[in-house]
A = this chain, B = another copy of it.
Amino acid sequence: MLKNRRVVLKSRPVGIPQAEHFEIQSTDVPEPGPGQFLVKNLYLSVDPAMRGWVNAAANYSKPVQIGEVMRSFAAGRVLRSNDPKYPEGTLVMGMLGWQEYAVTDAGAIRRTIRETDLPVSLSLGVLGLNGLTAYFGLSTIGQPQAGETVVVSTAAGAVGSIVGQLARRQGCRTVGIAGGATKVRMCLEEFGYDAAIDYREPGLEDALREACPNGVDVYFDNTSGPISDTVIRYINTRARIVICGTASIPSWEPWPDGPRVDRHLLTKRATMTGFLAFDHEHRYDEAVSHLADMIRKGELRYREEILDGLEAAPGSIADLYAGKNLGKRLIRLAHE
């Protein structure tokens, strides 16, 4: 019988999950029941959103329970199937969890991977949640117009780097904010930002003012906290602020204080909108097809940071919040 190794939640973190909150268990792989199928995971995803999934607070999804397999996106191949829509050999991406094998049904699958000319790992990054988040957050809320200025925080990250490239392609001036000289260089040299700012250096506000001589029309934020507090002061009338993540705030229980933004939103007639790519699932194929075409034409660059083996998973979230990763972080379990 096939053995499955899986990462389960051992204790509930407050704030950022660390390696010690998880443990690796070994179990038998059950046979898929009626309508179910067995997937061999090839890549597991590591995403900042996973912090929210294990925190106890009411969130946009039910928290992972102690003893449960860590919820995650994963990409894999169907090995055995009782669902004719997912025959053996199909590549799928979905909520398959941090484990080597998943017995599941169609409900967990986000999409079938049809762009088999491209690496399957992309389905978890630039063609996965990250790309979809960038695509839908920017197009439905940011709504950038040619000539506008778009500021992106975590600008070299898996989402931010795509936002910057999509906005630039639409004729916007793009300004990236990232932590450290390496990421600033990536912003300028790999991701084509018109300007990039290292928020760890002093003088963020001066640098921002200089980089945005015409103010800020779209702010795509993944940080909250002091970076946002600075950027919001430079928004233009009718600016759109996309709230995509809050990486700089370690805990939201209780909600931390910061400058009240409502009067500024009022005088600027600006809007601040929270956003989750999940809400656009009915349009995933459209977005993937658009992004995959850009990749094939060499118009969209991305970075992956691949860790090998299930043992790398438990400690892999904390690094994201420390800003240690360069590119979309993945766990590789097997080669295609």
**Residues of chain A having any CB pair with chain B under 8 Å:** 52, 58-60, 221, 224-225, 228, 237, 243-246, 249, 252, 254-276, 279
Contacts and interface: CB of A to CB of B under 8 A. Distances in A.
Contacts of A267: 52, 58-60, 274
A266 to B, nearest CB: 4
Nearest to A49: B266
A246 B261 CA distance: 11
A280 to B, nearest CB: 11
Contact of A246 (B259, B262, B273): B262
Contacts of A225: 260
A136 to B, nearest CB: 11
Nearest to A245: B266
Contacts of A60: 237, 266-269
Contacts of A265: 243, 272-274
Contacts of A269: 60, 273-276, 279
Contact of A244 (B243, B249, B266, B276): B266
Nearest to A225: B260
Given A52-B267, A267-B52, A267-B60, A228 B273 contact: no
B279 A274 contact: no
Contact of A224 (B263, B270, B276): B263
Given A271-B272, A272-B273, 7 more contacts: A60-B268, A228-B262, A243-B266, A244-B266, A249-B263, A262-B274, A267-B274
B59 A224 contact: no
Given A52-B267, A267-B60, A262 B257 contact: no
Given A269-B274, A269-B279, A260 B258 contact: yes
12 contacts: A224-B260, A224-B262, A252-B263, A255-B260, A258-B260, A261-B272, A265-B272, A265-B273, A266-B275, A269-B276, A271-B271, A271-B273
